[in-house]
Amino acid sequence: MTRSTRAAGRRSAPRAHRSRQRAQRAYRARSVSKAIGLTLLSALIPGLGFVLGGRKKLGAFVITLYAGLLLLAAFIGLTQRDSVLALAVDPSQLLLATGAVLVAGFLWICIVVSSHKLLRPITLTSVGRFTGSAFVGLLCFGIAVPTTFAAQTVMAQRDLIGGVFKSEKDSKSATRPNVDKKDPWAKKPRLNLLLLGADDGVGREGTRTDTVIVASIDTKTGDTALISLSRNWMRMPFPEDSPLHKIYPDGFYDPNGPAEQAEYYLDSMYENIPKLHPGVLGASDNEGADALKVSVGEAMGLDIDYYMQVNLKGFEQIIDALGGITVNINYRVPIGGDYGSGPGSNGHKKPSGYLEPGPDQKLNGRDALWFARGRYGLSDPSRQERQRCTIHALVNSANPQTLVTKYQQIAAAGKQLLRTDIPGEILASFVTLGLKVKNANVTNVDLDKRKNFPTGQNPNYEAMRELVQKAIQPKTKPIASTPSSKPSTSPTKKPTKKPTSATTKPPAGEPQNLNDACAYDPSQTGTN
């Protein structure tokens, strides 16, 4: 042996010794089944496989990073809800979140594959190698599927936000208020939102807003008053400072026309005002909705802040995506049917069927739509009440599990069929307020049909304004009377407690809790 060979042997000895030490510290499974079990464990606790395989520093780093991210996510979720909501409605942040999800999924898969290579036996048969590789492949597939689903859901959210809730600079509204973007409700004790159901389906000419509801929301508590307007009201007023007031000083109707003017109904304003007076209120992406905001606000004595419009066919799709809604049906509700008069009519038709009465009826999108809009043989107030109950059931059905599993379907339907002038800049504040509404008190404001609008030709809007203001005023607790110093000598009677039931209704004009208004009460007829 030469001198150079002996020197090379001495230099390689320490390296060989270090390699043996690392091999001793590393753990190798003795069987494929144990390797599979350890790989699964390393997938549940990323980095553990590196520690067992001898890469302790790398493994400790990955485990620490993993635990730190979990703790950070828990902390943010529990204490920074507003920040999370702001991220969830910001298209640019959602794009970053999509990238983060995909990168996290890719790194997770790399950790699983690397861990298996470190932990599997050194000598493997072809069967053992195939079994281990197949298991790792399935494990990676199990990671890739939810990762891809999460990324698609985030992108669906981004698509919905960007398509429906446009920024102020990318949208036009003649009636949208100017608010503080950081705290929109700081100087606004109540938010008034106009809900429109547009009946622009196949076979109908133009667009009619058969559903017009005002949701007046207490921005501190979330308590909400729902006010339904009848589709056949005429002479809808306009504020004195509105250009439309100069054209219709006595309300929206033709003074030279007949008493029955279907083209001057409330449900015709959305389409007819932009046709008759284009651009009268200023630049707008939805002139019909702006005209309704101005007129409905004047009729109810409220400043309408924003509108939310849904095509009724889209309403059906959203309910199907949610898995249906549960309502109480107190009388037979017609499916279809038309008396053959009024705008958009197709002649006299009898209903094709009926929704039968019963408690806790689970309705799909089609049946829920007819529950909300069926009117053949029924009164308009009864339909308004069913529409409010439908909204109430829809809010209650939006549970987290359904939203997570079916959100892509909901977002796809929403993007195509929702319109609004709510700007994207304040959407996070709207979501926070919506969470309050879900857990708050929701009431129906009775506008007293017999007194204020026995017919739709000349409703008493002034009287209705008084009822609305009374209903939305904050309730004050009565001041306790000072007890008398002298004890009463007369026997005291215990107050008689009247039994309450679903049929008990407050006096006309008084708000009614929707849980009571929508309860099962088969004594109702639907004609009141």
Beta carbons of 223 and 216 less than 8 angstroms apart: no
Domain covering 190-467, topology: Aminopeptidase (3.40.630)
Q: Chain centroid to CA 517: how far?
A: 22
Token duo for residue 178: 């100017």
What was the pLDDT predicted at 502?
45
Q: What is the chain's alpha carbon radius of gyration, rounded to the nearest angstrom?
A: 33
Beta carbons of 234 and 265 less than 8 angstroms apart: yes
Give the residue extent of every domain in the chain: 19-164, 190-467
In Å, how far are 267, 273, 408, 434 from 413, measured between CA atoms?
Answer: 24, 28, 9, 20
- H-helix or E-strand spanning residue 307: strand 306-311
What was the pLDDT predicted at 485?
42
Which residues, including other chains, have CB under 8 Å from residue 484's CB and lie 6 or more apart?
A: none
What was the pLDDT predicted at 403?
63
Per DSSP, 234 falls in state -
Amino acid (1-letter code) at residue 115:
S
Q: Chain centroid to CA 326: how far?
A: 17
216 forms bridges with which residues in the sheet?
A: 192, 225
What was the pLDDT predicted at 383?
84
Q: Chain centroid to CA 156: how far?
A: 14
Q: Rounded distance, CA 84 to CA 77, Å? A: 7
Per DSSP, 479 falls in state P
Token duo for residue 411: 């977002």
Q: Rounded distance, CA 60 to CA 78, Å? A: 27
> What averages of pLDDT result for each successive group of 10 residues across the chain (528 residues)?
53 51 58 87 90 89 93 84 74 86 93 90 83 91 90 84 86 92 90 87 66 93 92 94 95 86 91 94 95 97 94 80 89 81 59 91 92 85 86 76 67 77 89 85 88 88 94 65 43 39 55 81 71
What was the pLDDT predicted at 526?
65
Q: Chain centroid to CA 157: how far?
A: 12
229 forms bridges with which residues in the sheet?
A: 212
Which of 146, 143, 121, 144 shows the shortest CA–CA distance to 132? Answer: 121
What was the pLDDT predicted at 317?
83
| Long-range contacts, 78-81 (Cβ 8 Å, 24+) | 81/432
Token duo for residue 119: 């932990």
306 forms bridges with which residues in the sheet?
A: 193
Burial of 134 (0-12, 13-18, 19+ CB in 10 A): exposed
